[in-house]
């Protein structure tokens, strides 16, 4: 397995650790750990999320630089992005820090585009990622980071970031649907 794919897998492996701090199990909130999670849980979750997000930047760069772009990487990279962002959004909804409808719309787009791309691939053509599709996870990751940031001022601006993420997510989804219809017509 090449370095880029190892980084992508690392992103997936970091998700449960992110969730452990974003949504600590009740059993861990007893005794001395309760104080730790209350004071540092969100900050540790943010650090893990940033680390996972950095692997997203690095894996593609390394794959291109080392000329090790693989079908496995093409499959795993967007899957890892979706899993990471979905886990973060669901955790934010569970803690009432993100509106459920924003999460629902973004996840609906993710499943719809994945379905469209799968149908296209089975029909023998690829709907390649476009600029909107590449911008989408970056904006979503920024919104997640702002939501977990320890400063109230930054957290208060996360709503604006989520609206931007939602708009770009919808535009991105529409471009994939348009491309799919063009090929199917």
Query: From the first residue on, what is the mean pLDDT of each consecutive set of 10 residues in the chain (185 residues)?
Result: 92 95 74 76 94 92 89 85 95 93 96 90 84 92 93 89 97 94 82
Query: Treating both helix axes as pointing N-terminal to C-terminal, what angle do 100-122 and 152-184 enclose, rounded to 10 degrees?
Result: 30
pLDDT of residue 29: 67
pLDDT of residue 117: 87
Handedness of CA 185, 134, 156, 40 (dihedral sign): positive
Q: Which residues contact 106 (CB under 8 A, 6 or more apart)?
A: 85, 89, 140, 165, 166, 169
Per domain, the residue ranges of the chain are 3-184
pLDDT of residue 103: 96
pLDDT of residue 89: 96
pLDDT of residue 27: 58
Quick one: how far is CA 18 from the chain centroid?
A: 12
Instruction: Count other C-beta atoms under 10 Å from residue 82's C-beta.
Output: 18
**Which pair of tokens denotes residue 138?**
């970056």
- 3-184 homologous superfamily: CDP-alcohol phosphotransferase transmembrane (TM) domain (1.20.120.1760)
Interatomic CA distance for residues 168 and 163, integer angstroms: 9
Interatomic CA distance for residues 71 and 53, integer angstroms: 21
First-to-final CA distance of the chain: 39
């Amino acid at each position: 397995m090449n370095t880029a794919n190892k980084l992508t897998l690392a992103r997936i492996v970091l998700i449960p650790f992110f969730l452990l701090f974003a949504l600590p199990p009740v059993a861990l909130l007893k005794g001395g750990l309760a104080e730790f999670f209350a004071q540092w849980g969100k900050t540790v979750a943010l650090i893990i999320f940033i680390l996972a997000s950095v692997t997203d930047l690095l894996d593609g760069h390394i794959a291109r630089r080392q000329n090790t772009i693989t079908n496995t990487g093409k499959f795993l990279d967007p899957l890892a992005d979706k899993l990471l962002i979905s886990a973060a959004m669901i955790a934010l909804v569970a803690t009432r820090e993100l509106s459920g409808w924003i999460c629902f719309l973004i996840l609906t787009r993710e499943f719809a585009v994945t379905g469209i791309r799968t149908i296209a691939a089975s029909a023998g053509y690829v709907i390649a990622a476009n600029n909107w599709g590449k911008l989408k996870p970056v904006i979503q990751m920024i919104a997640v980071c702002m939501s977990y940031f320890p400063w109230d001022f930054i957290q208060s601006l996360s709503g604006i970031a989520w609206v931007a993420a939602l708009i770009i997510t919808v535009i991105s989804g529409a471009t994939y649907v348009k491309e799919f219809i063009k090929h199917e017509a």
